[in-house]
Amino acid sequence: MSTGFPASRSLAQWLPDLALGFENLASHKLRSLLTMLGMIFGVAAVVAMLSIGAGAQQKVMAFIEQLGVRNVIVEAKEAHNYQELQKVRKNSPGLKLTDYQIIRQNVSHIQSGTPRKRFAPSKILPKPQQDTPVVYGVEPSYLEIGHLRVTDGRFFDESDDAAAAPVCVLGAAAKDSLFGASPAVGEYIKLNDQWCHVIGMVAPQMSPQSEVSGVRTEDMNNLIYAPLNSVRYRLEDSQSWLKDEIDGMYLHLASPDTSTTDAEVVRGILNSSHHNAGDFSVIVPAELLAEQKRTEQLFNTVMVAIAAISLLVGGIGIMNIMLAAILERTREIGVRRAMGARRSDIVRQFVIEAVLISFAGGFLGVVMGFALSKMIAWFAGWSTIVTISSILLAFLVSISVGLIFGTYPAVKAARLDPVEAIRYE
């Protein structure tokens, strides 16, 4: 019984002040609302801006994770015309299968890998309803390396690649573009002059919305996967004379911890065989992911700093209103002091009113910020995500501002002389 007495007494002290605080705010509705505006807009800005940042970062980070934090990716920088090609060929033979084989022999941490040969067919049947799909010639190991998930049929295997079999697997967008709602597995498509048997389909994948440090900005769903040897020996590329023997390679490592050092070894091998021609780039998704996390933290810090300025303005508004309220209620304060109220009671009363204003402003700001986030997503087509952390942050900051800026007026009210306060008109 004795342990519960202090708590119940404390609650008995706070409840009347809460009721009085609600009563005072309700009696001046317009003034209370105007006081809250700074809080409302500040909190709404925090929630809306952080939702935009969270949405953008989530897509980029999901795409980077899809690339694989245990992968190292090499991309050839293709020449766009004959003069550019000749300039590069003076120093470098281009990216070749021998480069891939040498790397596999000299980097011990590689568990699996695949070269890649890609091209856009000049002729394709059935006629695509959307953009022409791009063909990826890869080895069967790309199924695991590229985090593909077969939804219908199967992926090609080692025997298909060894025999250069005319088979292919469709990405989600490529299937819709070529066959619409009709089943695709078992059908045939014509790539340039070669008919290929469709043996499978893969699930939709994330695609980069903007350039990500050297990664191609192509639709990862509008792809046709075929065995590497089938692409090399059966499918003719009309611009093959402008391109390297292969245009990329994927190296799957045993651990992401060695990705940076292994990437340096790969760069060293290629720079040696390409005579520092700079006709390739090495992409390390683990590094990109760490960089994006740092960028996200910096963005959040900047957004919070900007929003803090808005909340600071709101806090100044609360202080001004509370100081004005002291003048209006000087006589009331004097009467309460004369009736035995302590200074701590007066401080508690005014701090409660300040916190109520900031709490109500924070709540309305969260609602407005959530609505703004949805409107931005609807009208601008951006991905926005309202996170629990942004809501908690906005609430904590708004209540803290109420406490900080409400304390000075409360202390000033408590220091009023009771006799002078009663005489105040």
| 55-82 pLDDT per residue, tens | 776 766 666 666 767 888 888 877 666 6
Same domain, 205 and 347: no
**Do 58 and 200 share a domain, yes or no?**
no
**Does 338 share its domain with 409?**
yes
In a domain? residue 283:
no
Confidence (pLDDT) at 2: 44
- Residue 215 is predicted with a pLDDT of 64
How high is the pLDDT of residue 5?
42
pLDDT of residue 9: 45
Instruction: Record the pTM.
Output: 0.65
Interval 244-267 mean pLDDT: 84
How much is the pLDDT for 3?
Answer: 46
Is residue 182 predicted with pLDDT exceeding 50? yes
Do 188 and 140 share a structural domain?
yes
Q: Are residues 121 and 241 in the same domain?
A: yes
State the pLDDT at residue 11: 54
- Whether residue 199 is found in the same domain as residue 222: yes
Do 58 and 93 lie in one domain? The reply is no
Same domain assignment for residues 54 and 100: no
Judgement on whether residues 84 and 205 belong to the same structural domain of the protein: yes
Residue 92 lies in a domain: yes
Domains: count for the chain: 2
Distance set, CA 387 to CA 54, 174, 231, 391 (Å): 8, 34, 46, 7
Last residue within a domain, chosen from 252, 278, 304: 278
pLDDT digits (tens, 9 = 90+) for 262-280: 888 888 988 888 878 777 8
What is the pLDDT at residue 115?
Answer: 93
pLDDT band at 199 (very low <50, low <70, confident <90, very high): very high
Q: pLDDT above 90 covers what percent of the chain?
A: 18
What pLDDT does residue 226 have? 95
Name the domain boundary from 246, 278, 310. Answer: 278
The 10s digit of each residue's pLDDT in 23-62 is 777 777 777 777 777 778 878 887 887 787 777 767 666 6
Is the pLDDT at 136 greater than 80? The verdict is: yes
On whether residue 38 sits in a domain, the answer given is yes
pLDDT tier for residue 1 given thresholds of 50, 70 and 90: very low
Confidence at residue 420, expressed as pLDDT on a 0 to 100 scale = 65
3-state secondary structure the chain: CCCCHHHHHHHHHHHHHHHHHHHHHHHCHHHHHHHHHHHHHHHHHHHHHHHHHHHHHHHHHHHHHHHCCCEEEEEECCCCCHHHHHHHHCCCCCCCHHHHHHHHHHCCCEEEEEEEEEECCCCEECCCCCCCCEEEEECCCHHHHCCCCEEEECCCCHHHHHCCCCEEEECHHHHHHHHCCCCCCCCEEEECCEEEEEEEEECCCCCCCCCECCECCCCCCCEEEEEHHHHHHCCCCCCHHHCCCCCEEEEEECCHHHHHHHHHHHHHHHHHHHCCCCCEEEECHHHHHHHHHHHHHHHHHHHHHHHHHHHHHHHHHHHHHHHHHHHHCHHHHHHHHHCCCCHHHHHHHHHHHHHHHHHHHHHHHHHHHHHHHHHHHHHHCCCCCCCHHHHHHHHHHHHHHHHHHHHHHHHHHHCCCHHHHHHCC
For 240, the domain range is 78-278
Between 182 and 400, name the one with better pLDDT.
Answer: 182
pLDDT given at position 398: 76
From 278, 305, 340, the end of a domain falls on 278
Please give the pLDDT value at position 244.
62
Per-residue confidence (pLDDT) for residue 238, from 0 to 100? 54
